Structure 1
Amino acid sequence: MGAMSTAALFTALVDDAGLFPPTSLHMSEALARHRRDQEHGGPVLTHRFLCPADRIDALRREEFTPRRIGLILHTPEPPPFDDLPVDIIEAVLPSDTSVGAFARQLASRVPHGVRLFVEVPPHRVGGDVPEGVGLKVRCGGATAEAFPPVEHLAAFIRSCAEQEIPFKATAGLHHAVRHFDPALGTDRHGFLNLVLAVCEAVERRDPAQVLRTTDATRLVALARTVPPETAKHARELLVSYGSCNTAAPLADLRELGLIPE
């Protein structure tokens, strides 16, 4: 796999989730960091700023506006955002409804050109996802219980690949390679594992083994042998993931030799 194809795996992969735990930056701090990242222009970053709907007014009060904003809803009623460059809306699926019904409920509030991603539990992926709507999967959180088992995450990825459903990921993907977190007493999923698991699913192989491995050398070797078309297809499925730390993914990929210094 050439350098161009390797780049395809990681280009525009990481959304800026600096407002969210565990980093939880103040708005001014988060935007200052985002501005520095944007000026640097690193290709691994999407340069999309993720903002909860209830903090959108605080964002408006700042002098700097990101070039792309992902609006994170906590209620089915998004605030007005016509004056902001929102290109993605993310919302959690209510427990008593389907993705299709929820998407239809939001349809009149989501302008043309703005993509909707609905967060679902990884074990709940049905066939009712409307065309043009994506899913979102949570890969971790503040407790061990928030980290989905490999089997659930693998089933989610496999289902998205089989149905050609694009998805985003969030939470817990702090480093490239799966590793044990002694503070939580559980294994954390790695974002490199995730990217390569999607590649496995694209090629109709079980992604669970790649999700489970903690062998960085093996993952790097696998990344370097992904066919270009597989990489392209995989990244059409895995749109991006949110990271509260925008420096760590770059540092990990550089240390592994997968992006230039």
Structure 2
Amino acid sequence: MTALLAGFVDDAGLFPPTALPMSEALARHRHDLAVGDPMLTHRFLCPAARIDELRAHLVEDDRIAVGIIASADAPDGALAAAAAAADADPRTQLALVEIACDLADLDPALAAATAYGTPVFVEATERTESPRFAAVLAGRGAGLKIRCGGVRADLFPEPAEVANALVSAAAAGVPVKATAGLHHAVRYRDPATGFVHHGFLNLVVAAARAAAGAGSGPVADVLSSADGAALAAEAAALTPDGATAARRLLVSYGSCSTTTPPTEAADLGLSPSALDTEGQRS
């Protein structure tokens, strides 16, 4: 089996709920770079407004692949300024751009975001518009970003909603990146908040089903599962082509933790370090 989970986890340590201070987030990222866990993309996600803060904390030997996140309420020119700053600094490499907008503003937003020659992912400001965005993004050189949780219950989409986005993206040939709420491998209820979180293993197995042509029903079914053993078995049973198709559709997700995903994948027998990682890094 090819490494379904290799190069899967972006470093979102600056974002809630972990929200590490910049110095701590960078210290952790440097450690991860030194260790080189194959499940990590080794991209450091940073809000556009914090690029100067990031640069102020870098040392001469740093070489950081940066994903710039521009929210829908970012000031005009914030993305361009952040990208220019990252491009001008030899310690940073612009590796990814993520933006949020509504459908009416998609064309100018895409024009700005795609100017840097890096992968671009677009999040719909109205989450239920994600399937429609996927269709509109087809052939336009950008992917779809889907939000799977947040700090409030209403920010967690139902399995059917996530399934519709994945199936639409698969049909349109549009890659997907996920964010927020994916704190563990398998779907679970957080005892502290009561929020039901999607699992990153659920999500990648759902992507495998969607990439293979499954409809929203079977994709939603696997997103609803809390059976880790069954999910791991389905993941392990994927052919190399099936794993590649899954990851062509679902390229990565942002995680506040860079240790929990590899640990839980290993516990389920799915550690990329034990598998063939060739061609799987996103």
Determine the structure 1 residue equivalent to 2:265: 253
Whether the aligned pair in 2 keeps the contact of 1:168 and 1:238 (CA below 8 Å) is: yes
- CA-to-aligned-CA distance 1:44-65 (integer Å, 9 cap, x gap): 0000000111110011112343
Determine the structure 2 residue equivalent to 1:192: 201
Letter in structure 2 aligned against 1:193: N
Structure with the higher helix share, 1 or 2: 2
Give distance in 1, aligned partners of 2:232 and 2:123: 29
Q: Report the secondary structure of 1:128's partner residue.
A: helix
Give distance in 2, aligned partners of 1:63 and 1:180: 38
Matched, 1:28 2:15: no
Whether the aligned pair in 2 keeps the contact of 1:119 and 1:135 (CA below 8 Å) is: yes
Identity fraction in percent? 43
Matched, 1:119 2:126: no
Give distance in 2, aligned partners of 1:168 and 1:46: 12
Determine the structure 2 residue equivalent to 1:72: 69
Q: Report the secondary structure of 1:68's partner residue.
A: strand
Give distance in 1, aligned partners of 2:9 and 2:247: 12
Give distance in 2, aligned partners of 1:98 and 1:151: 26
Determine the structure 1 residue equivalent to 2:97: 89
Letter in structure 2 aligned against 1:257: G
In the TM superposition, what are the counterparts of 1:209-228 in structure 2 within 5 Å?
209-228=221-240
Of 58, 65, 72, the match for 1:63: 58
Give me the TM-score of the superposition, normalised by structure 2. Answer: 0.85
Whether the aligned pair in 2 keeps the contact of 1:35 and 1:66 (CA below 8 Å) is: no
Give distance in 1, aligned partners of 2:121 and 2:20: 24
Determine the structure 1 residue equivalent to 2:279: none
- CA-to-aligned-CA distance 1:162-184 (integer Å, 9 cap, x gap): 11101110000000000112322
Whether the aligned pair in 1 keeps the contact of 2:211 and 2:249 (CA below 8 Å) is: no
Whether the aligned pair in 2 keeps the contact of 1:34 and 1:66 (CA below 8 Å) is: no
Give distance in 2, aligned partners of 1:196 and 1:106: 30
How much is the aligned-residue C-alpha RMSD, in angstroms? 1.7
Q: 1:96: Cα distance to partner?
A: 5.8
Whether the aligned pair in 2 keeps the contact of 1:16 and 1:242 (CA below 8 Å) is: yes
- CA-to-aligned-CA distance 1:123-164 (integer Å, 9 cap, x gap): 212222142111101100011111001110000000011111
Give distance in 1, aligned partners of 2:68 and 2:263: 27
Q: Report the secondary structure of 1:239's partner residue.
A: strand
Change (3 A) 1:122 1:96: closer
More deviation, 189-198/234-243: 234-243
- CA-to-aligned-CA distance 1:86-129 (integer Å, 9 cap, x gap): 11110111x3625345313544xx322x1211112442122221
Change (3 A) 1:122 1:164: farther
Work out which structure has the larger RCO, using CA pairs closer than 8 Å and 6 or more positions apart in sequence. Answer: 2
Matched, 1:14 2:9: yes
Whether the aligned pair in 2 keeps the contact of 1:122 and 1:153 (CA below 8 Å) is: no
Of 231, 234, 256, the match for 1:244: 256
Q: Report the secondary structure of 1:70's partner residue.
A: strand
Q: Report the secondary structure of 2:87's partner residue.
A: coil
Matched, 1:233 2:245: yes
Structure 1: which 4+ aligned runs deviate by more than 4 Å?
A: none
Matched, 1:152 2:157: no
Change (3 A) 1:45 1:254: same
Determine the structure 2 residue equivalent to 1:136: 145
Structure 2 spans left out of the alignment, 5+ residues: 275-282
Give me the TM-score of the superposition, normalised by structure 1. Answer: 0.91
Give distance in 2, aligned partners of 1:16 and 1:71: 12
